[in-house]
Amino acid sequence: MTNPPSPSDLNIKIFADGADLDGIREMAANPLIQGFTTNPTLMRKAGVSDYKAFALDAITIVAGRPISFEVFADDFNTMQAQALEIASWGDNVNVKIPITNSKGESAAPLVGIDL
């Protein structure tokens, strides 16, 4: 039986998901982790009370690797403003926008897709 390929041999990217700065720091030390992602639910569960301060700390820790943050607004005008602010925090920052808000309204026009 042959050994399975190592993750570095595959055409995949491994992103760590979480909202704990110590955990992000630990994962950032692992060269197999190529990026990071979090969301408001994870941040709330981790006790994050200052979204921007947390995000800026996380951006520093990941040292240029991709990192994704999600908007937390529920109306599309505020989502757009938040997305632009979050994106301004770094060239390695990606912004996640939920496909629908809590009312079931599609965010497709906000992200520029025609469904």
Q: Look up the CATH number of the domain holding residue 102.
A: 3.20.20.70
Helical (H) or strand (E) element with 24: helix 21-28
Tally of CA atoms within 13 A in the half-sphere of 69 that contains its CB: 27
**What sections of the chain are H helices per DSSP?**
21-28, 40-45, 51-62, 76-87, 108-111
pLDDT of residue 11: 81
* 96 counts as catalytic: yes
Query: Do the domain assignments include residue 31?
Result: yes
Query: Do the domain assignments include residue 40?
Result: yes
Domain assignment of residue 29, given as a range:
7-111
Q: What is the mean pLDDT of residues 23-31?
A: 96
Q: What is the mean pLDDT of residues 65-92?
A: 96
- How far does CA 55 lie from the centroid of its chain? 9
Query: Do the domain assignments include residue 1?
Result: no
Which residue out of 13, 45, 52, 96 is catalytically annotated?
96
Asked whether the predicted pLDDT for residue 110 surpasses 70, the reply is: yes
Q: What is the mean pLDDT of residues 7-21?
A: 87
- Residues 6+ positions from 33 with CB-CB distance below 8 Å: 14, 15, 16, 27, 65
Q: What is the mean pLDDT of residues 34-49?
A: 95
Q: Considering its fold, how many domains does the chain have in total?
A: 1
Asked whether the predicted pLDDT for residue 108 surpasses 80, the reply is: yes
pLDDT of residue 26: 97
Q: For residues 35 and 67, what is the distance between their CA atoms, to the nearest angstrom?
A: 6
Query: Do the domain assignments include residue 75?
Result: yes
Query: Do the domain assignments include residue 2?
Result: no
pLDDT of residue 7: 66
pLDDT of residue 1: 66
Query: Of 57 and 1, which is predicted with more confidence?
Result: 57
Tokens 């720091």 correspond to what residue?
25
